[in-house]
Amino acid sequence: MHPLFEYIKQYVTVSEEIFNNELKNSFIKKEIRKKEYFLIEGEICKNFCFIAKGAMHKYHTDDKGIEHVVNLFVENWWAGDRESFVKQTPSAYTVDAWEDCELYLINRENSTKLLKESSIFNEFILKLDEQHTISTQKRITSSLSLSAEKRYEDFVSNYPHFVQRFPQHIIASYLGITKDTLSRVRRKALKT
């Protein structure tokens, strides 16, 4: 079964036939190796990708050259930069493969076309955006209202697979806490 079909049918009612006829050909399979770039800061995000296998991470580099991890992705996540993709402007982010990846890419033209022509794709994107809005609201609330300790606990309980696949300094950056704080929090968590 096509991995994208398997994923999409969790969100919308769609037959394999409709998926094959309406959606499948708008996506191109691409394999990238660990450390290879999917998007480089300053370039236009021409494609969005569905991750069928592997892990990626997205970061922004500040004026001092420090990298700030803004997103972590594993299988069944979408990666790219929405602003750059929509407006076709240079991206403020870099996205690269943290592990070897199998991706399904869709470009802006195909995405716009599907949104206009396919009610299934439309319904799917609405659901995806809805879920995304809910999870980013939670992330913002947690960054404003929780201690570093509680943020890490929540992260481990919500995304246990991320802790296994990304190193501590990447998770610390994603959570907006220093590596030392994360080490302290982890040591404390192990003791209890």
Point out which residues bind a second copy (CB under 8 A).
60, 62, 66, 68-70, 81-83, 86, 92-93, 115, 122, 125-126, 129-130, 132-134, 136-141, 143-146, 173, 176
In this structure, the strands spanning 94-97 and 37-39 are: antiparallel
Nearest approach in angstroms of CB 152 to a second copy is 15
Q: How many residues does the chain have?
A: 192
Shortest Å, Cβ 97 to a second copy: 20
Q: Which is nearer to a second copy, 76 or 122 (CB)?
A: 122
Cβ atoms of 48 and 145 within 8 Å: the answer is no
Residues 6 or more apart in contact with residue 115 via CB below 8 angstroms:
121, 122, 125
Alpha carbon distance 93, 131 (integer Å): 22
Shortest distance, position 47 Cβ to a second copy, whole Å: 16
3-state DSSP call for residue 77? Answer: coil
Our CB check for a second copy shows the closer of 105 and 128 to be: 128
**Residue number, 6 or 130, with CB nearest to a second copy:** 130
